[in-house]
Homo-oligomer: A and B are copies of this chain.
Amino acid sequence: MKKIDIIGRGNVATHLAKAFEGKAETRLINPHTLSGINRNADLILISVVDSAIRDVLEALSKDKEVNSIVAHTSGSTGMDVFKGLPLKEYGVFYPLQTFSKKKSLNYADIPFFIEGSTIDAAKMLKEYAGMISKRVIYADSNKRKRLHIAAVLACNFVNHLWALSDKYLADEQLDFKDLLPLIEETVEKVKTMPPHLSQTGPAIRGDEGIIKDHIHRLKDYPRIKEIYSILSNSIQEL
C-alpha cells in the first residue's frame, strides 16, 4: 500500500485521511511539530491554512532530504509557494468542496484539481486523486483562481442572497424555511440543464410592472434594492 502523510489537523486533512481509508496507509501529522513525519512516504499532503503552507514547507525541507512528492491542498495558493525549496517533486492537490468535520461526504463525486512541478509529478498526483475520486482534472494556478471566483459567485454569494431573503421575510414574521422546497427545485434543475436555460422570474419575462413594484416595495432596504436592480439588469443582458 502507498504511504501518505497528511500534515494538518483541520477539516480537509481529516476528510482526506478518511477518503484514503483502505486505499492507502495514511497518517495525520501535527503541523506544528511534524513529529513522526516520514520524508520517504510516497506522498506528503499539506492541508493547513494558506498562510501557514510556506512555514510548513520550510520546516519540512530544512536540512533534511525529502524524497516524497509534496503537494498542498489549497485552491488559492499558487505554485510559487514552493519556490527555492529543496524539493524533488511537488504540486497542488485541490479538492473543490467545503468540508466540515461532522458531515460525511461522497468523496467519489468531489472534483480534484491537480498541478505538478513536472509532468511526472502531475501524473502521480492525478493517480492519487483517482484513488479517491472519479473526477480529476489538471488545472494551473490561473484556472484554479478562476474556479475560486466561480465558487464565490455560485456558493458564497448564493448563500448571502438566502441570508438577505431570510432577513427580509423575518421582518414580516415570514419564515425563510418556506422557501426551501422552491430552493431545492432550483438546485434540481441546475443539475439537469445549463442554468441560463432554466432562468425564471420577472426579469427574464421582461415583466417591467412587477420589477418596478418590487423595487418600490424595497424602498426601506436600499442594499437589497440595489442588488435587485443590478441582478435584474444582468439577467436581461445575458
Contact = CB atoms under 8 A, between A and B. Distances in A.
A94 to B, nearest CB: 11
Contact of A198 (B159, B164, B183): B159
Interface string A110-154: 110000000000000000000000010101001101111111111
A188 B198 CA distance: 21
A208 interface: no
A214 B146 CA distance: 9
Given A172-B143, A178-B137, A200 B97 contact: no
Contacts of A155: 179, 182-183, 186, 200-201
A231 interface: yes
Contact of A146 (B147, B151, B153, B172): B172
A178 B96 contact: yes
Interface in A196-220: 196, 198-204, 210, 213-214, 217-218
Interface of A: 76, 96-98, 103, 105-106, 109-111, 135, 137, 139, 142-143, 145-169, 172, 174, 176, 178-191, 194-196, 198-204, 210, 213-214, 217-218, 223-224, 226-228, 230-231, 233-235, 237-238
Given A174-B139, A174-B146, A166 B180 contact: no
Contacts of A178: 96, 111, 135, 137, 147
Nearest to A185: B98
Contacts of A139: 174
A33 to B, nearest CB: 27
Nearest to A156: B201
Nearest to A111: B178
Contact of A150 (B154, B156, B165): B165
Contacts of A228: 149, 152-153, 157
Given A143-B174, A154-B179, 9 more contacts: A97-B182, A145-B217, A151-B165, A152-B202, A157-B235, A164-B238, A167-B238, A223-B234, A226-B230
A96 B186 CA distance: 13
